[in-house]
Amino acid sequence: MAEKVNKNQQATKSLLEKSRALREKSRETENKFNELKAKVDKFIHSEEPRSNTDN
């Protein structure tokens, strides 16, 4: 019985470590996404309005 409890504790610890790593990676990905989104927004809004005589 103690062996089974120990095995479950090890599995739980492993899953918690994986979860922490995934959360950290998710935060990094979110930060990169937000930086890229800000660059795109800046690029889009930096364009000067075009005149209607381009046709």
- Whole-structure pTM value: 0.62
DSSP per residue over 38-53, as a string? HHHHHHHHHSPPPPGG
Q: Given a cut of 70, is residue 45 above it in pLDDT? A: yes
pLDDT at 49: 65
For residue 6, the model assigns a pLDDT of 95
**HSE toward the beta carbon, residue 29, CA cutoff 13 A:** 6
Per-residue pLDDT reduced to its tens digit, 4-31: 999 999 999 999 999 999 999 999 999 9
Mean pLDDT of the chain: 90
* Confidence category of residue 53, pLDDT binned at 50, 70, 90: low
Q: What angle do CA 30, 31, 35 make, to 5 degrees?
A: 115
